[in-house]
């Protein structure tokens, strides 16, 4: 770049300028954040089409999963029924359109790569012993956390030997502001524990980053104000209403999900449980440390959204990692049986089901969604039906930090 010049000082200055312009670069996370924002910024006409598509896709089959439990525990823990919603490219709205999916895939391709040794998930209040049995969220089926002797009578056929791990950079105040701005909300303050608090005409938005313990994904929360109107859609059910609201605000999940409607109380809760696609396996749900699925939740009261909460969109990088074989996972679960005592003898619990799931593993400046095995089984105790859940890491120990 520097060109000949009689003045040596000028030449030196030119070299410094070359260096200055070649070394001045944005912070690393900016690249991902901006790419995500670009991918999700689509024209209004396209958004309208997505909104209509989302509406007509509204009636989806409710899966035969005992999900009752799902967000109930989160409600207790967080107080307002926080369900996270994370995702690649959700801002552009639209009912999981192929465009959004392709865009996210392209974003992944840009940043794919091995992540080195991964942190080991902590499933029990920060304990590093990831094979310790964990109490799963109960909901309709209460959980049991006492000592148990575990047996395995189920079947876990797994033909895959590796699974993708996802990594994201911790969202910044700037990315939170961009998310809010895309919704039309204006920054009001940055309260402790949040990246920002924002206001719009009929709701308040709060955005927070990753919570280290208990692990909780970056999330947003929309608290409606009394002026938030009911959704006017004759004959629409809760799921339709939730779809409409999300589409209107460009919040429709672009990721795979299972929709569950809990109409047992007021508000009615419409939950979009996130899934990760694993080649050769299928959809693996995202679960919290208790094994409860999560993604995004719309709480409706008298057809009015009163609370919408979900994972903050983050750019995800992906890399494949070797996973432990199913048989080894079963052995690690059985080895985690706890020993009772005279006062509380260990119960024998038959674990009958197992599936591949994803769990959040915070790691400071960036965090991971790592595969894990979730084992579960129900049993009777004093006439009540209880459930036992056990999470174990799926990533091969050789690929994890001790």
Partner 1 sequence: MVADRPPFEDLYRDYLGRIYAYVRAQVGTSADAEDITAQVFMNAYQAYARFEARNQTPAAWLFRIARNATLDHFRAHGRRERLRRTIEHQPAAEEDPAGQAEDRIQYRALLAHVAKLPERQRDAISLRHSGLSFDEVGRLMSCSEDAAKMLYHRALKALKEAVQKEGV
Q: Kindly state whether residue 174 participates in binding partner 1, applying the rule CB under 8 A.
A: yes
Is position 31 an interface residue for partner 1 (rule: CB under 8 A)?
A: yes
Nearer to partner 1, 18 or 266 (CB): 18
Strand 196-199 and strand 203-208: pairing?
antiparallel
Instruction: Please state, in angstroms and rounded to a whole number, the distance separating the CA atoms of residues 85 and 96.
Output: 14
Helix (H) or strand (E) holding 107: helix 98-111
Task: Quote the least distance from Cβ 103 to partner 1, whole Å.
Answer: 10
Compute the distance between CA of residue 95 and CA of residue 46 in angstroms, rounded to an integer. 11
> Would you call 62 helix, strand, or coil by DSSP?
coil
Q: Which of 4, 8, 24, 265 binds partner 1 (CB under 8 A)?
A: 24
- 21 is a contact residue toward partner 1 (CB under 8 A): yes
Tokens of 144: 């049991």
Closest of 361, 373, 291 to residue 120, by C-alpha:
361
Q: Which is nearer to partner 1, 83 or 182 (CB)?
A: 182
Q: Can you tell me which of 37, 88, 206, 271 binds partner 1, judged by CB under 8 A?
A: 37
Contact between 41 and partner 1 per CB under 8 A: yes
Nearest distance, CB of residue 312 and partner 1, angstroms? 16
**Selection from 130, 118, 121 nearest residue 321 by Cα:** 118
Q: Which one, 76 or 110, has the nearer CB to partner 1?
A: 110
For residue 382, say if its preceding peptide bond is cis, omega within 30 degrees of 0. Answer: no
CB of 23 to partner 1, least distance (A): 5
Q: How far apart are CA 63 and CA 260, in angstroms?
A: 7
Closer CB to partner 1, 110 or 114, in the complex? 110
String of contacts with partner 1 for each residue 348-377, x by CB under 8 A: ------------------------------
163's enclosing H/E stretch is strand 162-169
Query: Which of 16, 102, 189, 277 forms a contact with partner 1 (CB under 8 A)?
Result: 16
Judged by CB under 8 A, the residue of 65, 106, 112, 384 near partner 1 is 106
Using CB under 8 A, pick the residue from 4, 6, 9, 232 that binds partner 1. 9
* CB of 39 closer than 8 Å to CB of 101: no
| DSSP run (H or E) holding 178 | helix 173-183
Residue 298 tokens, joined: 């719309």
Rank residues 108 and 202 by Cβ distance to partner 1 and give the closer one.
108
**Residue 23 binding partner 1, by CB under 8 A:** yes
Q: How many residues does the chain have?
A: 402
- Residue 112 binds to partner 1 (criterion: CB under 8 A): no
Q: How far is the CB of 16 from partner 1 (least distance, A)?
A: 6
In DSSP terms, which residues pair with 374 in a beta bridge?
355, 391
Contact call for residue 22 and partner 1 (CB under 8 A): yes
Between CA 157 and CA 153 the distance in angstroms is 13
Q: Is 25 in the site for partner 1 (CB under 8 A)?
A: yes
Please identify, among the stretches 6-14, 283-291, 329-337, 346-354, the one whose residues bind partner 1 according to the rule CB under 8 A: 6-14
Rounded Cα distance, 88 and 304, in Å: 27
* Contact footprint for partner 1 (CB under 8 A): 1, 9-10, 13-14, 16-31, 34-35, 37-38, 41, 106, 109-110, 172-174, 178
């Amino acid at each position: 770049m520097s060109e000949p010049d009689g003045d040596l000082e000028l030449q030196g200055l030119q070299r410094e300028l070359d260096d200055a312009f070649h070394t001045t670069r944005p912070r690393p996370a900016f690249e991902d954040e901006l790419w995500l924002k670009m991918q999700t910024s689509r024209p209004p006409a396209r958004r309208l089409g997505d909104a209509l598509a989302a509406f007509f896709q509204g009636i989806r089959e409710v899966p035969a999963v005992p999900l009752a439990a799902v967000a109930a525990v989160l409600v207790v823990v967080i107080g307002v029924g926080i369900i996270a919603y994370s995702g690649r490219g959700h801002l552009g709205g639209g009912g999981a359109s192929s465009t959004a999916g392709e865009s996210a895939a392209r974003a992944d391709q840009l940043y794919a790569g091995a992540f080195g040794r991964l942190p080991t998930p902590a499933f029990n209040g920060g304990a590093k012993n990831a094979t310790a049995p964990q109490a799963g969220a109960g909901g309709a089926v209460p959980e049991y956390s006492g000592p148990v002797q575990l047996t395995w009578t189920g079947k876990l056929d797994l033909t895959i030997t590796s699974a993708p791990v996802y990594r994201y950079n911790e969202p910044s105040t700037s990315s939170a502001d961009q998310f809010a701005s895309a919704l039309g909300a204006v920054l009001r303050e940055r309260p402790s524990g949040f990246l920002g608090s924002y206001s719009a005409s009929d709701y308040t938005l709060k955005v927070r980053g990753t919570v280290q313990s208990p692990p909780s994904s970056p999330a947003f929360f929309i608290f409606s104000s009394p002026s938030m109107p009911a959704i006017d859609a004759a004959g629409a059910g809760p799921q339709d209403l939730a779809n409409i609201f999300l589409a209107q605000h460009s919040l429709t999940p672009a990721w795979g999900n299972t929709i569950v409607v809990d109409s047992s109380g007021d508000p009615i809760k419409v939950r979009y449980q996130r899934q990760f696609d694993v080649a050769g396996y299928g959809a693996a749900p995202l679960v919290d440390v208790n094994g409860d699925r999560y993604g995004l939740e719309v709480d409706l009261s008298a057809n009015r959204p009163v609370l919408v909460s979900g994972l903050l969109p983050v750019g995800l990088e992906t890399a494949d990692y070797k996973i432990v074989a199913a048989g080894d996972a079963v052995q690690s679960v059985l080895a985690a049986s706890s020993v009772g005592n005279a006062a509380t003898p260990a119960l024998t619990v038959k674990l009958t089901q197992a599936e591949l799931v994803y769990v959040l593993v915070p790691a400071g400046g960036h965090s991971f969604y790592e595969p894990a095995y979730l084992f579960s089984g129900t049993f009777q105790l004093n006439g009540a039906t209880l459930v036992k859940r056990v999470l174990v890491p799926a990533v091969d120990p050789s690929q994890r930090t001790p």
